[in-house]
Structure 1
Amino acid sequence: MNILDKDNIALYPDQVQAVLTRLETLLAGCTPGAMVDQALRLVPGKRAVFRGRMAGRDVVFRLPLDDANRKSAAEEWTELTRAWGHMARGANRVAEPLHFDPDSGLTVIAHAPGTPLLTHIWSLDASHRPPLIARAADWLQAYMAPTITSRGINRRPWRKWAMAAAAKQPHPELAEIESRLLQKMHKLSRQLGDPDWRVAIPHGDFHLNNLILDGDTLTGIDTGGSNHAPIYKDMARALTHMARRGMLPSGQRRFGVDAGALDAFTAAFALSDREANAFLPYMLVYETLIRVEHPQMSSDRIAHALAMSEALFDDLRRIT
């Protein structure tokens, strides 16, 4: 078996080997003939991901390592099979669910061939990037469409989670601007009023490298949402993920992120003025604060995060 040197794979070889042994035992019992080729990811004590083959197909094996992740695996399987019902064909798809073992939580999903979308976009000239970002927005709209509904605004949990994350920021320059962003989030929260906002079952970790481009087809991977959330959260996750890496193809910012990309999501979901200028900025602040940078994060990533946060704060001053 080949072990990729990424995440915790190289740091915990003994745990990887122990999980591999358990996985191979499970496969022998429920899917004879399946083979494991590669360790892809390990979150010690929580979950592991492997690449391999089953029934002549390239597949991904996901194995939870604790009770909480076994419960999540069951919920994620239910959601993936639901999404497969309307995204099995066409330009916007999800990875095909193949097998689920309810006792262990082992999930087997078809490997999606192609290139992670953000990786591909980086290889293009800036002028060729916007259409693919718009495709990502269209994929998200297609994924959410069957479950979109309206509910009363639940602002408090998002503020609470953002406050807890901001308190853990290890970089002083980011901690300073994030404390000011948190104040703006509280102020914007009071301005949201009491109308409904749109919610749906989200992707759960929507960024452009969780979309795999193969020709004209986009396949979503790592879907994990199971409970309804504001539709603006997944948009904000993708937009801040790009901005924190310096992906600004339009050359202009709005609320800290690329203005052209923000317009693409606004168009794909036909956002109202209130959604585009209150609800989405609220979630942009949330996603900015909830993603705490690692203490050893590279200086360029810190610089991108700082530039995004400062630009977000400047635009929030215009509306709060």
Structure 2
Amino acid sequence: MTSPINLRMGAAEWAMLVVLSILWGGSFFFLEIALDEVPPFTLVFARLGLSALLMLAFMAFARRAMPRRPGLWPALFLLAFLNTALPFSLFAYAQTEITSGHASILNATTPLWGVIVAHLFTPDEKATPGKLAGVAAGIAGVSVMIGGGAISGLGASLPAQLACLGATFCYALAGVYGRRFRAWGAGPFEVATGQLIAGATLILPVALLIDRPWQLALPGTTTLLAIGGLALFSTTVAYFLYFSLIARAGATNALLVTLLIPVTAILLGTLLLGEVLLPRHWVGMALIAAGFVAIDGRLVDRLRDT
């Protein structure tokens, strides 16, 4: 029997969420570089295929094996469709039309979909006024941090924006669906590996049919390094952490990572590139922090009890 999910995160879960936000925040950077030379579907296949090989190599080294439960692989293919093949393709297409800043704002709607989907399809992750208010505050904070230019740009390229929203809805469905593997005895390594194999299998015929990658020129070193970073850090390591977090803290909490991605990206730019924190960055981070407090609920409960 599996232990119950702790819907109020502790220090370890918050640390995992921060690391995950850094890894996935880097994916927008890697995508922007790689899309200059590699078309979207081929890039998604390279990302998933390389990541699957890395995970298989690790599992072989650690002498781990996939569970033999009937129905596991069909479930993994559905998870891969919702969590990698379709949303990765939608975001890769979208970033050929809109900037990474626009994509980041739309990506931040994921927890809102997560709260709604979890409320409808789980017995223990019901929506509350605090959760809805917290997610709204977080999305507002992301919009403020990224700035008015990005917000005004949201009026452009409607198909690309709808693609981003479709991708975030898929992430929410996948987050809730991914909870079932814990009860099946499939750990984070096994779920991540199976999902990546299934995702690469799903996207391969699409890439061959649409992109015809054998006709493409060999990408340059910078692009190859971006693809490597996308596969190793933003996919292989990230998905292990993601499924670990779902198992420990539930789908709604795991999806909060999208609110943290802009925060970590801006803080890394300040620490590593000498960028300056503007007043809107502080305001945005304050709104996101307030959103997390509302979603977590513990401080609100204490204030109510005093």
Provide TM-score, normalisation by structure 1. 0.28
Which of structures 1 and 2 has the bigger CA Rg?
1
Greater strand share, structure number = 1
Considering Cα pairs closer than 8 Å and 6+ residues apart, tell me whether 1 or 2 has the greater RCO. Answer: 2
